[in-house]
Structure 1
């Protein structure tokens, strides 16, 4: 069984807060439901468009292998099932910086990851950051969550 490093449901609060920098990339700002984590994330909108108000599940894992064994780093053809099969958008990256801001009860950890130049900042409880190490390789997996109220309205008709 795959042990994930982090998983939560996020809500997109804002797109491109500092203006649009690239044609096919949006920088989103989002907040998580369970751990109240703040996130800035660059997303390739050509293959995974996102919108304000949309909810998505994000999982961080160290391997795609369902049995939890480390990835070889190479593509293995043959139709082998993996964690990626359960998600819509998958990226591989490297944690390049961890820092803390604030003092006392207001301390927040900042975790910076680069996914081939698409950046992610994850900010929140330092106890969550304690699981992570500098230069750690991550796989980020996302899937859009259904808006339950829209689904309920459709079923009522």
Structure 2
């Protein structure tokens, strides 16, 4: 399934980050239904907790990981409805339709990681995403609510 095109809204692009990663490792030892996957590309590395009952990946696979400010294709905000449950949005077609794994959460912390590198920490109801990479790639992120969208490539 192809990804719907992201549209611009009054606040700019709905897509804050879109990266392709190779999965390096998976650790499923700590929790019953959660695995921590790690991956990287030349500019960014990540650690992501996923519910492996809902979505499975294997080392060596390639995924697209997207952070978006809205699921609405026109780029308009859906934050108030999303807080109540993003699956109940009135839209018939959303950005989520092109992805296999979707979560809603909050960017809660940033740290400097070197001269031109930063770390971003995001929580999706306790499932965590850690990103570290080029400040140039991660400067579109700020303390806000975001959607995580993942699919295998």
Q: Which TM-score band applies after superposition, normalised by the shorter structure? A: 0.7 to 0.9
Per-residue deviation at 1:72? 4.3
Listed as ranges, the matches of 1:2-151 within 5 Å are: 2=8, 3=13, 4-16=15-27, 20-32=29-41, 36-74=43-81, 75-77=88-90, 80-103=92-115, 107-134=116-143, 136-145=144-153
Deviations 1:84-141 (A, max 9, x none): 01111101010000011234xxx4200000011000000000122322212x111010
Q: Distance in 1 between matches of 2:135 and 2:39?
A: 18
User: Which aligned segments of 4 or more residues in structure 1 are displaced greater than 3 angstroms?
Assistant: none
Q: Name the SS of the counterpart of 2:22 in structure 1.
A: strand
Q: Name the SS of the counterpart of 1:23 in structure 2.
A: coil
Per-residue deviation at 1:8? 1.2
RMSD: 1.5
> Taking structure 2 as the reference length, what is the TM-score of the superposition?
0.83
Gaps of 5+ in 1: 146-157
> Taking structure 1 as the reference length, what is the TM-score of the superposition?
0.81
